[in-house]
Chains A and B, each alone.
Chain A
Amino acid sequence: MIEVRQARFAYPSGPPVIRGVTVSLEPGAMAALIGPNGCGKSTLVRLMAGLLKPSEGEILLDGRPLHLASPAERTRKIAYVPQGTARAFPFTAFEVVLTGRSPYLSRYAFEGRRDAEQAMEAMDAVGVAGLASRRITELSSGERQLVSLARALAQQPACILLDEPAASLDLKHRAALVRTLAGLQARRGLTVLLVTHDLSMLDPHFNVIFALRDGAMAATGSPREILQEAVLAEVFGDEHARVWHAEGRTFVWSEV
């Protein structure tokens, strides 16, 4: 689906953030991107979404260079959910989700009834249909995050990239998020890449984990391979990392 080959990237007048990363996101994968704060996870996801261009190396979308894809082609295939969203204007949640339809519309066309229905379906899938006419300025950050996810789903993408979507979600919604994404992956073959710090939510729903450290790929593998004390100690530089398998899941914490 998306292939990153020896990509390098630095922000203007800054040190290199991504230092030769190679990653292959297979179609239908349910992937997680983990790593310590500031290791370049968000930058890597933004590169993969086509928001940034690597200074070296290349990024391929279905085998073709991503920067050669037309905006319509790219945005119909890849949806991106940023970490937080601006809320300068009190748009309704429905208006926000409706913008997810713009890759399918010409520059001057307005959304039709069919687009509106798809937007509502996306809101329903994430469980925020009830918030449709609420203003985003009045929503909690967790609710806004879900609205942002619904907007990405309204894009009907083949691949969805999420930058720490779980950060401001409560227990119930965090589980619901993983359930929704796993369901879409199973039913529609949606490719998912999710950045997260919550390592306990990865096993068994995710099938591949990319561990990033200092802008380079430190480890890649299944949750059982990556979620091991030795690997986590290496990736996070934390010898207090502990792992516990129970009820078919893997729990991860760091000893205080």
Chain B
Amino acid sequence: MAASAESAILIPGRMPKAVLVRSLVILLMVLAAATFIALWAGYQRLDWYTLRHDETARAIFFRLRLPRVVLAGVIGSTLALVGAALQALFRNPLADPFTLGVSGGGALGASVAIALGWGARVAGVPIVFLVAFAGSAAAILVVYNIARTGATVAPGALLLAGVVCNLTAGAGVLTIQYFADENRGLQILRWLIGSLDAVGFETTNQMLIFLIPGWIALLAFSRDLHLLAMDEDTAASLGVNVRRSELCIYALSSLLVGVTVAVGGSIGFVGLIVPHVVRLLFGQDVRIVMPCSFLLGAAFLMLADAVARTALGQTELPVGAVTGILGGPLFLWLMRRDQRYSAMQS
């Protein structure tokens, strides 16, 4: 990396590795700040003094607020990472677990499990996770097979199929909710909008058993995704095993989204907003966009949840409403802009 003085060739811009290091440092600081704000914000004001001397304040902090902020971070980073991966894989900046129906499929799976009262575990794994994973995987397979014709994935058809898949899954969830008993019906309602009600650390720990290997494995595909984002044939001619990478990325995305949806509900547009902001800030290189989306996704959902908790005073807004209000207009704006680049043309 040492710059040779006699080098006459002008390299445009910074080298990718330097950009990665710089952006990760910046985003780690952003994440630290977001964590601090999210922990501080809430109907019950907490400060250093009350935390040290007030038993109730300590209970609120450690039993309610801290687990919730951690959960928001975990879910936000997962959704943003999957969003960045799906966008690169489909060469479509509008792709996102929500717009591709992956969240919807997971939510349908989760509500089936809840309605049937499958609170049990198989080998320590909550069945809800597994059924949500299956739902997400089914959705991604359906959407992909509809949009793919021969060697090309039609971007318009992909999104349309995804949105319709989400609507259908939503209708399925409503039907199940209607038939389920009142208690379980209320539980299912959460999945419709997405919420981060206090769940304690136990659930988060269970999620992390799946999420951490999933994160690492998906990040390991960053180079392949960078090449796939350029062009499928080019990626193949540069040594990417396209079919195998695709299959792994689908499986990992379904797993990650299924598990987050099973706990947090389908929180929309995080995977759309966050990678987009990252690209605006740090450029298009997918090897940079992936880890940066991971960090910024955590910060983003922590802050969105802080807004959801505080915006209406004592009443809480579901965090899915906050991300939806931000994400929907952004999606429409991106769609309009991308028509210029003909990214939407089938």
Assembled-state Cα–Cα distance A243/B120 (Å): 79
Partner of A72, one of B226, B239, B284: B239
Partner of B15, one of A49, A71, A80, A113: A113
Knowing A87-B341, A94-B12, A120-B9 touch, does A99 contact B2 (C-beta < 8 A)? no
The reply to whether B284 and A89 contact each other, CB–CB distance below 8 Å, is: yes
Set of chain A residues within 8 Å of B227, measured between Cβ atoms: 99, 102
Whether, in the assembled complex, A11 has its beta carbon less than 8 Å from a beta carbon of chain B, the answer is yes
Whether, in the assembled complex, A38 has its beta carbon less than 8 Å from a beta carbon of chain B, the answer is no
Whether, in the assembled complex, B241 has its beta carbon less than 8 Å from a beta carbon of chain A, the answer is yes
What 1/0 mask marks residues of chain A from 119 to 149 whose CB sits below 8 Å from any chain B CB?
0110000000000110001000000000010
The reply to whether B341 and A148 contact each other, CB–CB distance below 8 Å, is: no
Partner of A75, one of B230, B232, B239: B239
| Chain B min CB distance to A251 (Å) | 32
Whether, in the assembled complex, A220 has its beta carbon less than 8 Å from a beta carbon of chain B, the answer is no
Knowing A99-B230, A102-B227 touch, does A137 contact B341 (C-beta < 8 A)? yes
Set of chain A residues within 8 Å of B10, measured between Cβ atoms: 120
Q: Which one of A51, A75, A80, A86 has the highest number of Cβ atoms from chain B below 10 Å of its Cβ? A: A86
The reply to whether B12 and A92 contact each other, CB–CB distance below 8 Å, is: yes
Set of chain B residues within 8 Å of A80, measured between Cβ atoms: 233-234, 237
The reply to whether A108 and B223 contact each other, CB–CB distance below 8 Å, is: yes
Interface size class of A (residues with CB under 8 A): 35 or more
What 1/0 mask marks residues of chain B from 1 to 43 whose CB sits below 8 Å from any chain A CB?
1111001011111011100100000000000000000000000
Knowing A80-B237, A87-B341, A89-B284 touch, does A117 contact B11 (C-beta < 8 A)? yes
22 A-B residue pairs with Cβ-Cβ distance under 8 Å, sorted by A, are: A11-B150, A51-B236, A71-B239, A72-B239, A75-B238, A82-B231, A85-B234, A87-B341, A89-B88, A89-B91, A89-B229, A89-B284, A92-B284, A103-B238, A103-B239, A107-B223, A111-B16, A111-B17, A113-B4, A113-B7, A113-B15, A121-B9
The reply to whether A102 and B15 contact each other, CB–CB distance below 8 Å, is: no
Assembled-state Cα–Cα distance A51/B230 (Å): 16
Partner of A85, one of B7, B230, B283, B343: B230
Set of chain B residues within 8 Å of A50, measured between Cβ atoms: 237
Interface size class of B (residues with CB under 8 A): 35 or more
The reply to whether B223 and A133 contact each other, CB–CB distance below 8 Å, is: no
Partner of A110, one of B20, B150, B283: B20
Determine the main DSSP class of B at the interface with A. loop
The reply to whether B11 and A91 contact each other, CB–CB distance below 8 Å, is: no
| Chain B min CB distance to A50 (Å) | 8
Whether, in the assembled complex, B93 has its beta carbon less than 8 Å from a beta carbon of chain A, the answer is yes
Q: Which one of B7, B92, B223, B230 has the highest number of Cβ atoms from chain A below 10 Å of its Cβ? A: B230
Knowing A89-B91, A120-B10, A120-B11 touch, does A110 contact B341 (C-beta < 8 A)? no
The reply to whether A113 and B3 contact each other, CB–CB distance below 8 Å, is: yes
Q: Which one of B17, B231, B237, B341 has the highest number of Cβ atoms from chain A below 10 Å of its Cβ? A: B237
Whether, in the assembled complex, A204 has its beta carbon less than 8 Å from a beta carbon of chain B, the answer is no
Whether, in the assembled complex, B305 has its beta carbon less than 8 Å from a beta carbon of chain A, the answer is no
Whether, in the assembled complex, A116 has its beta carbon less than 8 Å from a beta carbon of chain B, the answer is yes
What 1/0 mask marks residues of chain B from 237 to 254 whose CB sits below 8 Å from any chain A CB?
111110000000000000
Assembled-state Cα–Cα distance A207/B279 (Å): 47
Set of chain A residues within 8 Å of B20, measured between Cβ atoms: 110
Knowing A75-B238, A95-B285 touch, does A117 contact B9 (C-beta < 8 A)? yes
| Chain B min CB distance to A79 (Å) | 7
What 1/0 mask marks residues of chain B from 76 to 106 whose CB sits below 8 Å from any chain A CB?
0000000000001001110000000000000
Q: Which residue of A lies closest to B10 (CB)?
A: A120
| Chain A min CB distance to B158 (Å) | 11
The reply to whether B11 and A82 contact each other, CB–CB distance below 8 Å, is: no
Assembled-state Cα–Cα distance A92/B284 (Å): 8
Set of chain B residues within 8 Å of A107, measured between Cβ atoms: 220, 223
Whether, in the assembled complex, B287 has its beta carbon less than 8 Å from a beta carbon of chain A, the answer is yes
Kindly list 10 other residue pairs between chains A and B, CB separation below 8 angstroms, not including A85-B231, A87-B343: A11-B150, A78-B237, A80-B237, A85-B230, A89-B230, A103-B239, A113-B2, A116-B9, A117-B7, A120-B11
Set of chain B residues within 8 Å of A11, measured between Cβ atoms: 150
Assembled-state Cα–Cα distance A151/B233 (Å): 13
CB within 8 Å of B: which of A171-218? none
Set of chain A residues within 8 Å of B150, measured between Cβ atoms: 11
Set of chain A residues within 8 Å of B240, measured between Cβ atoms: 71
The reply to whether B237 and A51 contact each other, CB–CB distance below 8 Å, is: yes
Knowing A88-B343, A89-B91, A89-B229 touch, does A95 contact B239 (C-beta < 8 A)? no
Whether, in the assembled complex, A112 has its beta carbon less than 8 Å from a beta carbon of chain B, the answer is yes
Q: Which residue of A lies closest to B285 (CB)?
A: A95
CB within 8 Å of B: which of A47-61? 49-51
Knowing A89-B91, A91-B284 touch, does A110 contact B241 (C-beta < 8 A)? no
CB within 8 Å of A: which of B276-325? 279, 283-285, 287
Set of chain B residues within 8 Å of A82, measured between Cβ atoms: 231, 233-234, 237
Partner of B226, one of A74, A88, A99: A99
Set of chain B residues within 8 Å of A169, measured between Cβ atoms: none
Assembled-state Cα–Cα distance A103/B236 (Å): 11
Set of chain B residues within 8 Å of A89, measured between Cβ atoms: 88, 91, 93, 229-230, 279, 284
